[in-house]
Amino acid sequence: MYVDKVSLRNFRNYKDETIEFSKDLNIIYGQNAQGKTNIIESVFLCASGRSHRTSKDAELVNIDATGFSILLELQKAEDRKNIGIEYERGKKKIIKINEIPIKKIGNLMGNLLAVIFSPEDILIIKEGPSQRRRFIDITLCQLKPSYFYDLQQYNKILLQRNALLKEIQFRRNLLDTLEVWDDKIAELSSRIMIARNEFIGRLCEIAKKIHFKLTDGSETMEIKYSSSIDINNFSDVSQLKDEFIRQFSNVRASELKRCITLIGPHRDDYEMLLNGLSLKTFGSQGQQRTSVLSLKLAEIEIIKSETDQNPVLLLDDVMSELDFKRREFLLENIRNIQTFITCTDKDLFENRNFGDNLYIRVETGK
Ligand code: ATP
Ligand code: MG
């Protein structure tokens, strides 16, 4: 699939601009603070319903305006589609597919498949578990709308369950109602964890191969899922659900004391290892960056094989961070994938032809 064009109205520093793209390599260049990342952001927003930089839609509105709109046109095999996003300050944003508003944001998932790679992605390795969960959740949500709904529902129920645990301190008679919540949350937890376990397994298998090549066979990468319950002992959702319910009764006293849910996907993490050593603790800056590159390339492979579609690739400022060899490897591996690259120096690509390179110069939101 590829994005044909995007029209931005009052989005960030764009007042009213339509940008047409090449289905191969789009090199978005210009000086700092001109609006290059804003273009990438608008495309990612149409893929996932949210920005990769902020969770606040209001920040996306041009400071002089009361709302923004994006209209993105997409070519998918023989199909043409458009995705529209309209937002007015203080209101909920409206998402339209082929001009028809969708009822749930989950219906957007899968229409435009996008993989984004920006310098902040190194946080997947450096930061805490929530950054790592976010990475797999974004991909899984695009691939499986049912995962998106499970996760949305889970987060809602988790808040309600935690509120109930607090409330029980003052109203012991509410203790009986906890079981109803346990049952619901155990079911969702099991579905989410089984999906994550499968995904991490595949990610590990593919990223390992890519990373091995990328480092000339000197580094073996491994990814290990760590969850509150050792999932490998359970083969299906119902078995895992029963185990969750058992575990909830084991941790009941501590949960009531601390007033929080102590087990479940909100506590999941995964560890990345290079030659058996923790990448987070022992990896050099370059090793961490290269590992993120392997993860992203693996993500593309998984999307391709799950959907039979090439996702679009959004590379924000990453070229300047990679050395020559890794840059070449990346460019070789993204042939046939529509790619958007932001950079300050377009000369990096002058001798690289991808069929149809398009240079887009950005200056003050134009
Ligand atoms: P860099 O090379 O530094 O990454 P960039 O070209 O990617 O720069 P962007 O992040 O796309 O820059 O855009 C930044 C510009 O957009 C800044 O000038 C910023 O002030 C402006 N900007 C951001 N949000 C808004 C907004 N809501 N309204 C108006 N202008 C905005
Ligand atoms: Mg930028």
The mean pLDDT value for 28-38 works out to 97
Tell me if 52 sits within 8 A of 44, measured CB to CB: yes
Looking at the DSSP bridge assignments, the partners of residue 95 are: 85
Q: How far is CA 76 from CA 97, 302, 338, in A?
A: 14, 18, 12
pLDDT at 56 over 80: yes
pLDDT at 76 over 80: yes
Tell me if 302 sits within 8 A of 202, measured CB to CB: yes
pLDDT at 163 over 80: yes
Beta sheet of 67-76, edge-to-edge order: 14-20, 2-11, 67-76, 79-88, 94-97, 100-101
Tell me if 92 sits within 8 A of 105, measured CB to CB: no
Q: What is the pLDDT of residues 229-238, one digit of tens each?
A: 999 888 799 9
**CA 285, 301, 137, 118 torsion-angle sign:** positive
Token pair, residue 265, equals: 């996907």
Among 205, 216, 212, 157, CA closest to 181: 157
62 lines ligand 1 (CB under 6 A): yes
Residues 6+ apart with CB under 8 A from 295: 124, 135, 203, 207
| Angle in degrees, 0-180, between the axes of helices 129-143 and 285-307, rounded to the nearest 10 | 20
- Number of residues that make up the chain: 366
Query: What are the structural domains, with CATH classification, of the chain?
Result: 1-113+310-366 (3.40.50.300), 120-308 (1.20.1050.90)
Residue type, 180: V
For a ligand 1 pocket test, name from 17, 36, 43, 51 the mutation site with the most ligand atoms within 8 angstroms of its C-beta: 36
Across the chain, the runs of DSSP E, i.e. the strands, are 2-11, 14-20, 25-29, 67-76, 79-88, 94-97, 100-101, 114-117, 221-226, 269-274, 277-278, 312-316, 339-343, 358-361
32 lines ligand 1 (CB under 6 A): yes
Using the 8-state DSSP alphabet, how is residue 237 labeled?
H
pLDDT at position 360 is 96
Q: What is the pLDDT of residues 272-321, one digit of tens each?
A: 999 999 999 999 998 999 999 999 999 999 999 999 999 999 999 988 88
pLDDT at 366 over 80: yes
288 lines ligand 1 (CB under 6 A): no
Whole-number Å distance, alpha carbon 282 to ligand 1 midpoint, is 35
10 lines ligand 1 (CB under 6 A): no
Looking at the DSSP bridge assignments, the partners of residue 26 are: 340, 358
247 lines ligand 1 (CB under 6 A): no
For a ligand 1 pocket test, name from 12, 42, 321, 343 the mutation site with the most ligand atoms within 8 angstroms of its C-beta: 12
Going by pLDDT thresholds of 50, 70 and 90, the confidence category of residue 346 is confident
Could you give the angle at the alpha carbon of 173 between the alpha carbons of 164 and 163, nearest 5°? Answer: 5
The mean pLDDT value for 53-79 works out to 96
Whole-number Å distance, alpha carbon 32 to ligand 1 midpoint, is 8
pLDDT at position 218 is 96
152 compared with 356, residue with greater pLDDT: 152
pLDDT at position 355 is 72
156 compared with 106, residue with greater pLDDT: 156
Helices (H) then strands (E): counts for the chain: 9, 14
For residues 144-181, b (16+ Cβ closer than 10 Å) or e, as one string? bbebbbbbebbeebbeebbebbeebeeeeeeeeebeeb
Tell me if 136 sits within 8 A of 200, measured CB to CB: yes
The mean pLDDT value for 267-271 works out to 97
% of the chain beyond a pLDDT of 70 = 99
pLDDT at position 354 is 67
36 lines ligand 1 (CB under 6 A): yes
Q: What is the pLDDT of residues 212-235, one digit of tens each?
A: 999 999 999 999 999 999 998 887
Calculate Rg over the CA atoms of the chain.
22
**CA 56, 62, 63, 65 torsion-angle sign:** negative
pLDDT at position 224 is 96
Tell me if 4 sits within 8 A of 68, measured CB to CB: no
37 compared with 326, residue with greater pLDDT: 37
Q: What is the pLDDT of residues 124-157, one digit of tens each?
A: 999 999 999 999 999 999 999 999 999 999 999 9
For a ligand 1 pocket test, name from 9, 10, 13, 362 the mutation site with the most ligand atoms within 8 angstroms of its C-beta: 13
Residues 6+ apart with CB under 8 A from 267: 129, 227, 228
Q: Tell me which residue has its CA closest to atom 21 in ligand 1.
A: 13
Could you give the angle at the alpha carbon of 113 between the alpha carbons of 213 and 45, nearest 5°? Answer: 120
Q: What is the pLDDT of residues 18-28, one digit of tens each?
A: 999 999 999 99
The mean pLDDT value for 24-52 works out to 96
